[in-house]
Every structure is written in structure tokens, then in C-alpha cells.
Amino acid sequence: MTAIGAGSTSRRPATVAGLAVEALRAVGVDTLFCLPGVQNDDFFDALVDARDIRPVVTRHEQGAAYMALGAAQVTGRPAALCVVPGPGMLNAAAGLTSAYWGNARVLALIGSVPSVWRGRSTGILHDLPDPAAVLRQLTKHTGYIGGGVDAAGVWQQAVDELVSGTPRPVAVEVPVDVWSQPADGVLDAPRAAMPPIDGGQIEEAARVLGRAQRPLIMVGGGAQDASEPVRELAEMLEAPVFARYMGLGVLDTRHRLHAYLTMGRDLWPSSDVVVGIGTRMEFPNVEWGVGDDQQIVQINVDPDELDRYGTGTVGVHGDAGEACRLLIDALGRHNRRRQDRTGELAELRTRHFERIARLEPQLSYLRAIRSVMPDDGIIVEDVTQIAFVAHIAYEHRRPRTYLATGGAGTLGAGVAHGIGAAAATRDRAQLTIVGDGGMLFTATELATAVQHGIDTTVLLFDNGAYGNVQRLQRQRFGPDRTIASTLRNPDWIAFGESFGVRTERASGPDTLPAVLERSLAHPGPSMVVVDIAGEPDPWPLLRVRR
């Protein structure tokens, strides 16, 4: 393998900080979302000379982590952040949690207290009794560089872990007194390792699927880079394909075999074999249950997901795209002929849209958004009413165009999440859908977007409340039993303009397309504000329980 920096004395890292810069280069990071501080000064001094890595300085450590999440999700490649220890790391923790559940290869560079005081609870600036214990819950690998002699090995393991296996965050802690230490060794190119796929597992899955009479496919975030083989497999099996939300876009919703979530629920009981591709399948397992005569096939790079619920799953451990291609080849020996299901799916789709027709004005707003967003336009959802309905009504046309925080369900990540996605894809339209409840969590990162010229657009729906919480309070306890769910908001137009953000109000679904077109065409961050009230409850259609 070629050593990173070998043969170029000007780029050979002389210090731990220099080696950290090389680690970023090694995984293809050209943008570092960061908030500097005293424990990381020597690293940032080394970054001054790294003209190929752009620092995007944020207004809060949570913003840096959410931006890295957005950049990693939209590209499928590593993204990085750098923050100080203690409160800095803890502020970033929600973003790392979101990356953990959102299938994102995020590298977190975390400063640390002087190495001599580590773990001694002295109360020195930004101290924690055991920061690694926190990081281990948020990442799939956490490293610590205790000195220059350790640096190359720790960084090598970190970058190898980052590009391998299940897409999840990796963290490296570096003490304030170690950044400037001489670093022994150099980095090899990252060694991306995927589990070798067992041919026996493929054959067993092919036999089970080949004899299935009514197969069904569920896709998740792990299938976002397997769109074509998923489509080919579905057509070979005449199998409808549905997703909850992390898998949206894997199969174009206009495809004859695409099934919205309610359709998936309708099809579930009569499906003799269900194959999950890159999905934890927690929703149907928990909410719907697996019948005694139903067989589950799981394709997942994470071995823990192959039979988490003890249903006797036929498991295929490996990358979704590679496994699907091998399965397609094997099915040639086992597959039976099936009746074309286009008509059946068309009838279910008609029933689906009749079923959700009451979700107004959300549906009209989503149609307005779709009318102006290009096929490769990126939607980032915050936890809000319009986004909930988008799961079952928006026309998702391409993979990696609908970004969410997965099982974390992170309220308030949206503005920063979208900025990160926009920063990583500078030639594509990007829109964040956020409610007034989540808006102010990271709204100050609009200053970051202005400062760095990032073309993000925020579509803010204002109902003056934590709407989901307030509706649940009314439903469960009575209309006069709401508490701590009403909000008093700022003047959003003045708020946006105070940052230098182009801000405009849309009066309703009919005016939204023209307003959005102007905003998306604006060279820089923009915001569109919509007043909304009385949105009907989508959850009976989203949960579709047994």
C-alpha cells in the first residue's frame, strides 16, 4: 500500500496534529465542521497550512456534528468535525447519536485534557471523569492518542474503522499536550473491509425467495447505495418494495412495484417471505409481528441485525449492493414464475391515496415542494408535521435525497443538518423542512451558512406550538389539558434578515412554488416562512399497527 505522505517531505507529518490532517486527507475529507478551543490550538495551527481542507466554523458544537451528519449522509462518504472536550464533546453528542442511527460515516476529532490528568477528576478545564465511556455509546470505535509514538497506529485504526462495515461514527481523543508531539510513522491508505459474503447464506436465501409465492421487500438506510440491484431483485421476484423513512428513495416511488408504508402494511400479512435489505426491520417486527407461516430474510452489514427478534431469520451478512447482486445470480437457479403484480399494486396505491386524502394542508404543501424540487434535490427533515406526512406522500425519486436522523428522531437538528448536506453538494438544490418547535435549536447556524456562502434553504412551518406534543396532550387528556407546548416565536422575517438570509413568507400551498423557486435560485442561504394551523393527525397512518 502507498503510505500517505510518503515521498513528499513537505506533506510528511512531523507532529500528531500533522498526522491528524493526513488522516482527514486519507478519507477524502475536504471540509471540517468545527468550533476551535484551547485544547485543540495546535491542531488548528497545523490546519492553517492544509489549504485543501476548508474549516467551516460553527456557532455551537451540536451544529458541527449535525453538519458532519448531513455531509456524510448525502454523499455516502466520510465527513468530519472537531470540538473541545467536556461540554464541547457533550454538545456534539446528540449529533453523534444521530449519525449512529442515521448510517453516517462521521469522524469526530475530540480534544482532551492534559494526558497526565486524564481520568483523575481534577476539575481541570473541560474535564470529565471518563469521556471515552460516553463516546463508546455514540460511536462504533473510539481511539485515544496517549503520545506521538501511538499516533500512527491509532489514526490508522480509526480511518480503517470509519470506511469499513456498518456506517457509523468514529471518534479519536487527543490531549492538549499531545497534538504538538513528534509523530512516529505514516498512514497507509485506509483499508476498507466489508464482511465476505458466505455463498451458503446466499444459496439458502435464494432457495427461500425462489419458492416464495408472494415475496415482499423492505429497504432501509443501508440500501441507499444499492438502488439498482434492489430494483432488479424486485422485478425478478415481482416483489413490492416499501420503506418507513430511512430507505425512502432507494426505489423511485413512481416505479410499478413501489409500495408506500400503508401499502406495505396491507401486503405484510399475505406475504410468505419478506426480505429486509439494509434495515433493522424494528418497525414491522415490533408493531406488526411475524406470522408463524412467514419467513424473514435479512441482508445487513451489521451482524447484530440478522436475527435480532428471534424469528428464525435467514441471514445474509454483508454489503447490501454486493449481496443483492449475488442473490440475483443465485436466483437464476431457484426462481419460480410469478404473476405480474402491477395491477394489484396500482389498486393498493389508489386506496393509499384515498386513505391519506384527509391529511390537508400537508399534502398540498408537499405537492408544491415536489413541483419545484429537481429529482436530485435534497430534502432534510426535522421532526415536524409536514415531514411526517412526507414519509407516506412525497414522491421520492432518487437515493440519498431524503435525509433523516433515523432511530434518534432528533428534534431541532434540521437547520444544521441541512447546512452540512448543502456544503457537501454545492451544485444541488437543498431544502430543510422544519417546524417552529425545532427551528430555534440550531437556527443560529444560519450565521454559519452566511459566513461560508452555503446555499441552504429553510422551509419553516409555524403553528405556534410543539404541535405533535400538544395534539397528543389533547387526545389523551382533553382539549383543556395542554401544558408546556405553546410557543411564542420571534418575527421570523426579521430574524432571518438579521443574519443576512433572504427571507420571504408564503401565504399557502398555491403561492409556495413561486416563493420556493426564488429562494432556491438565490446564491446563498434563504428561508421561507409559512403560517399553518390545525394539521390533522398522521400517526394512525404512520403507525398502521396490527
pLDDT tens string 318-340: 999 999 999 999 999 999 999 99
Written as one string, the DSSP assignment of 486-545 is: B-----HHHHHHHTT-EEEEE-STTTHHHHHHHHHHSSS-EEEEEE---PPP-HHHHH--
pLDDT of 5 higher than 70: no
> Average per-residue pLDDT in the chain?
95
Quote the CA–CA distance of 103 and 329 in Å, as a whole number.
Answer: 27
Q: Which residues contact 434 (CB under 8 A, 6 or more apart)?
A: 382, 384, 414, 415, 458, 459, 460, 461
Count of Cβ atoms closer than 10 Å to residue 185 Cβ: 16
Higher pLDDT, 322 or 12: 322
**C-alpha–C-alpha distance, residues 253 and 239, integer Å:** 14
Which of these, 237, 197, 195, 201, lies nearest to 315 by C-alpha position?
Answer: 201
Q: Where are the domains of the chain?
A: 3-188, 199-350, 357-543
Predicted local distance difference test score (pLDDT) of residue 120: 86
Burial of 535 (0-12, 13-18, 19+ CB in 10 A): buried
pLDDT mean over 491-496: 98
Q: Output the nine-digit C-alpha cell for 348.
A: 393498493
- CATH number (3.90.420.10, 3.40.50.970, 3.40.190.10, 3.10.105.10) of 3-188 reads 3.40.50.970
**Nearest to residue 444, comparing CAs of 63, 42, 48, 45?**
63
Closest listed residue to residue 141, CA positions, set 187, 110, 172:
172
CA distances from 336 to 84, 236, 329, 333 (A): 58, 10, 14, 9
Interacting residues of 354 by C-beta distance below 8 A, sequence separation 6+: none
Class of domain 199-350: alpha beta
Rounded distance between C-alpha atoms, residue 247 and residue 222, angstroms: 8
3-state helix, strand, coil in the chain (%, to 5): 45, 15, 40
Q: How far apart are CA 484 and CA 470, in angstroms?
A: 8
pLDDT in tens, 296-306: 999 999 999 99
What is the pLDDT, as a whole number, of residue 539?
87
8 Å CB contact between 366 and 509: no
**Residue tagged 405484510 (cell numbers):** 268
Task: For residues 430-434, give the mean pLDDT.
Answer: 98
Query: Can you tell me the distance from the alpha carbon of 151 to that of 16, in angstroms, rounded to the nearest whole number?
Result: 6
The two domains 3-188 and 199-350 share their CATH topology (first three levels equal): yes
367 to each of 178, 216, 363, how far by Cα in Å? 54, 28, 6
Closest CA to 387 of 409, 354, 420, 371: 409
pLDDT of residue 542: 82
At residue 6, does pLDDT exceed 50? no
pLDDT one-digit tens code per residue, 185-208: 889 999 999 999 999 999 999 999
pLDDT in tens, 29-77: 999 999 999 999 999 999 999 999 999 999 999 999 999 999 999 999 9
Q: Are 49 and 186 in contact (CB under 8 A)?
A: no
Phi-psi region of 123 (alpha: psi -120 to 50; beta: other; left: phi over 0): left
pLDDT tens string 447-486? 999 999 999 999 999 999 999 999 999 999 999 999 999 9
Exposure on the CB side of residue 221, measured as CA atoms within 13 A: 27
546 pLDDT band (50/70/90 cuts)? low
Instruction: Please tell me whether residue 338 adopts helix, strand or coil conformation.
Output: coil
The percentage of the chain sitting over the pLDDT mark of 90, rounded to a whole number, equals: 89
310 falls in which pLDDT band (50, 70, 90)?
confident
Residue entry with cell 435525497: 401
**Nearest-10 crossing angle of helices 467-477, 385-393:** 90
Grid cell 468545527 — which residue?
34
| Helix (H) or strand (E) run with residue 468 in it | helix 467-477
Per-residue pLDDT at 100: 98
28: left (phi over 0), alpha (psi -120 to 50) or beta: left
Under the banding of pLDDT at 50, 70 and 90, the label for residue 544 is low
Q: Distance between CA 527 and CA 433 in Å, rounded?
A: 10
**542 or 418, higher pLDDT:** 418
φ/ψ bin of 249: left (φ > 0), alpha (ψ from -120 to 50), beta (otherwise): left
pLDDT score of 439 more than 90: yes
The tens digit of pLDDT for each residue in 147-194 reads 999 999 999 999 999 999 999 999 999 999 999 999 988 899 999 999
Taking 50 as the threshold, does the pLDDT of residue 8 lie above it?
no
Taking the C-alpha atoms of residue 103 and residue 32, their distance in angstroms, rounded to an integer, is: 19
Question: Is the pLDDT at 491 greater than 80, yes or no?
Answer: yes
CATH 3.40.50.970 describes domain 357-543: yes
| pTM (two decimals) | 0.96
